[in-house]
């Protein structure tokens, strides 16, 4: 509620929203948080790019009749922009999809699947999206309280709002929240970005929000201009201010805004990730009846061509990038294969893809690798594995450990960022904890955590008690949505 006692009106701008477009956790968040906010009484809409791969029929996407076409300013011209609309499933959250100039009629969100690299016109693509989104919001004339911008692809929005729309009848008083989902992806481009965005080049000077080592850094602009900033876990909020390993050069900027920076842990969408109802897994199960999990395990091994396993089945579902701690797995893979079966699904860096494909050939009975993005297999891995490994170098929040907890698939994590905030270490004395944690970033520490897990796995009653403890945790979006509601209210009060 606003101080005036009416429903808060929020618009989210992001490059991803599940189920329309998802490359990682950002998509999950923008697909789920608006629904949870709606349950708290907010009115929410979402704006995303209209990528060429989005299935129009599956998602019931229609031209937005009241404003099917707008013109988005870009680089001194305007671009004809088609507006489509749909609904987030099971909600009254309207999703607006923007396309034009040929910027989004493609198969990839960030990377071109053909080259595995960002599109060469990445900068223009997202500037176009930001300008189009603001133009649409202005033309919709729907009153708004907070414009919630997510990650670098929307980093210029708070600045554009203040510099371009300060007299706009709809947008002039709107407040902004900028959420950092991953501080390592900052959107750093040549100075020319300002011309494309329609921001006066005079704002580009050392020390300005628009200047970053001779370039323009979209994330920096978002941090500097937003009314408030959030990131996706309290531990990560502290890490990005204190350590260049985490803040990736933005520590100083973030520290300056420490009073306006908040950490709110993500939730899991239990409408999508719930072993009791999940239609993508071979058998449903619950804390009270775990029998379905054994079926999921058997079928997963079969699906991947692995024999029935004695030891634990350990899952990994991940973007294959250095952040995710894959070099630790690389260094320890033979030890892991001795203790259990490793099942890995991911795509990303070619070196990792190559390595994990080779290792599956070397240990055909103990390691299975699937390269690609496969949502249904991701669900089957969550359900069919005994343990889930996330040895991340850093992890802003992480969602797979939350899904793992719900699926009784015990997470083994490096205690960083959101992993530290959501997984409690097993304590054999009090018989408490929901997973296994390690701290120092090296394969020996990771293996020690895996060995502790395997030891407990052999003690069936204790292991099953741990599974039930994990499954009974509540990481639904509701608590996080309440925290966002408080933050929005605070932003409005600071008007
Ligand atoms: P990040 O956003 O850094 O990739 P998160 O743990 O926050 O990491 O979110 C990752 C999300 O993407 C999860 O929902 C996970 O299941 C999904 N995911 C990652 N890689 C794949 C893949 N190859 N196939 C299917 N889903 C994937």
pLDDT, one tens digit per residue, over 249-268 is 999 999 999 999 999 999 99
pTM: 0.94
| Euclidean distance between CA atoms 10 and 109, whole angstroms | 24
Mean pLDDT of 228-249: 97
Residue with CA nearest ligand 1 atom 4: 24
List the single range of 101-105, 113-117, 440-444 with lowest mean pLDDT.
113-117
Tokens 């103990």 correspond to 366
- What is the predicted pLDDT for the residue at 92? 97
Q: What's the token pair of residue 44?
A: 């929410």
Is any ligand 1 atom within 6 A of the Cβ of residue 19?
no
Ligand 1 atom index nearest CA of 26:
2
Residue with CA nearest ligand 1 atom 20: 318
Q: Which of 111, 317, 376, 419 to mutate to test the pocket of ligand 1 (most atoms within 8 A of CB)?
A: 317
pLDDT digits (tens, 9 = 90+) for 133-189: 999 999 999 999 999 999 999 999 999 999 999 999 999 999 999 999 999 999 999
Q: Which of 318, 348, 377, 392 to mutate to test the pocket of ligand 1 (most atoms within 8 A of CB)?
A: 318
Quote the strand ranges of 25-68, DSSP E: 43-49, 62-63
Mean pLDDT of 346-375: 96
Ligand 1 atom index nearest CA of 232:
7
Side-chain half-sphere of 256: how many Cα atoms within 13 Å? 9
Q: Which of 116, 391, 399, 418 to mutate to test the pocket of ligand 1 (most atoms within 8 A of CB)?
A: 399
Q: What is the mean pLDDT of the chain?
A: 96
For residue 444, what are the CA distances in angstroms to 150, 357, 359? 36, 23, 20
DSSP β-bridge partners for residue 341? 313
Q: Residue 204: which pLDDT band, with cuts at 50, 70 and 90?
A: very high
Is any ligand 1 atom within 6 A of the Cβ of residue 292?
no
> Can you tell me whether residue 139 is helix, strand or coil?
helix
- What is the predicted pLDDT for the residue at 180? 98
Count of C-beta atoms within a 10 Å radius of residue 361: 9
334 CA to middle of ligand 1, Å?
Answer: 25
pLDDT digits (tens, 9 = 90+) for 26-47: 999 999 999 999 999 999 999 9
pLDDT digits (tens, 9 = 90+) for 282-341: 999 999 999 999 999 999 999 999 998 789 999 999 999 999 999 999 999 999 999 999
25 CA to middle of ligand 1, Å?
Answer: 6
Is any ligand 1 atom within 6 A of the Cβ of residue 235?
no
Mean pLDDT of 52-70: 95
- What is the predicted pLDDT for the residue at 1? 65
Q: Between 87 and 113, where is the model more confident? A: 87
Is any ligand 1 atom within 6 A of the Cβ of residue 375?
yes
Is any ligand 1 atom within 6 A of the Cβ of residue 378?
yes
Q: Residue 495 above 90 pLDDT?
A: no
| Euclidean distance between CA atoms 363 and 360, whole angstroms | 5
Q: Residue 116: which pLDDT band, with cuts at 50, 70 and 90?
A: confident
Is any ligand 1 atom within 6 A of the Cβ of residue 398?
yes
Is any ligand 1 atom within 6 A of the Cβ of residue 353?
no
pLDDT digits (tens, 9 = 90+) for 429-480: 999 999 999 999 999 999 999 999 999 999 999 999 999 999 999 999 999 9
Count of C-beta atoms within a 10 Å radius of residue 243: 12
| Euclidean distance between CA atoms 461 and 29, whole angstroms | 35
Q: Residue 99 above 70 pLDDT?
A: yes
């Amino acid at each position: 509620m606003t101080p005036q006692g009416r429903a808060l009106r929020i618009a989210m701008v992001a490059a991803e929203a599940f189920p329309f477009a998802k490359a990682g956790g950002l998509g999950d968040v923008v697909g789920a948080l608006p629904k949870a906010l709606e349950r708290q009484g907010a009115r929410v809409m979402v704006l995303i790019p209209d990528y060429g791969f989005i299935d129009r029929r599956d998602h019931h996407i229609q031209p937005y009749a009241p404003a099917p076409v707008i013109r988005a300013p870009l680089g001194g011209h305007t671009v004809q922009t088609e507006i489509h609309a749909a609904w987030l499933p099971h909600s009254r959250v309207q999703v607006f999809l923007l396309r034009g100039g040929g910027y989004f009629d493609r198969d990839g969100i960030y990377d071109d699947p053909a080259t595995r690299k960002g599109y060469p016109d990445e900068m223009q693509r997202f500037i176009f999206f930001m300008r189009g989104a603001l133009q649409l919001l202005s033309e919709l004339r729907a009153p708004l309280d907070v414009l919630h911008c997510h990650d670098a692809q929307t980093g210029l929005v708070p600045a554009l709002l203040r510099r371009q729309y300060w007299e706009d009848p709809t947008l002039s008083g709107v407040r902004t929240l900028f959420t950092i989902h991953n501080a390592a992806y900052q959107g750093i481009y040549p100075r020319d970005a300002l011309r494309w965005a329609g921001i006066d080049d005079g704002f580009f000077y050392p020390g300005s929000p628009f200047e970053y080592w001779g370039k323009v850094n979209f994330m920096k602009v978002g941090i500097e201009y937003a009314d408030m900033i959030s990131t996706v876990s309290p531990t990560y909020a502290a890490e990005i201010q204190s350590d260049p390993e985490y803040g990736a050069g933005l520590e100083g900027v973030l520290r300056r805004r420490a009073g306006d920076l908040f950490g709110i842990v993500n939730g899991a969408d239990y409408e999508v990730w719930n072993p009791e109802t999940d239609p993508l897994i071979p058998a449903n199960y619950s804390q009270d009846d775990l029998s379905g999990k054994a079926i999921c395990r058997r079928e997963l091994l079969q699906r991947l061509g692995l024999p029935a396993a004695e030891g634990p089945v350990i899952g990994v579902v991940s973007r294959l990038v250095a952040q995710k701690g894959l070099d630790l797995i690389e260094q320890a893979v033979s030890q892991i294969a001795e203790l259990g079966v490793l099942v890995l699904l991911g795509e990303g860096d070619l070196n990792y893809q190559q390595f994990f494909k080779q290792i599956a050939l070397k240990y055909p009975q103990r390691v299975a690798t699937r390269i690609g993005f496969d949502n249904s297999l991701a669900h089957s891995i969550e359900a069919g594995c005994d343990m889930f490994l996330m040895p991340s170098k850093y992890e802003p929040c992480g969602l797979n450990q939350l899904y793992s907890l719900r699926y009784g698939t015990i997470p083994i994590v490096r205690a960083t960022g959101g992993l530290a905030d959501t997984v409690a270490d097993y304590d054999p004395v009090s018989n408490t904890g929901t997973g296994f944690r390690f701290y120092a970033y090296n394969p020996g520490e990771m293996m020690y955590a895996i060995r502790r897990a395997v030891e407990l796995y052999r003690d069936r009653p204790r292991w099953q008690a741990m599974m039930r403890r994990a499954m009974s945790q509540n990481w639904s979006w509701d608590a996080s949505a309440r925290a966002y509601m408080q933050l929005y209210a605070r932003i409005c009060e600071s008007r």
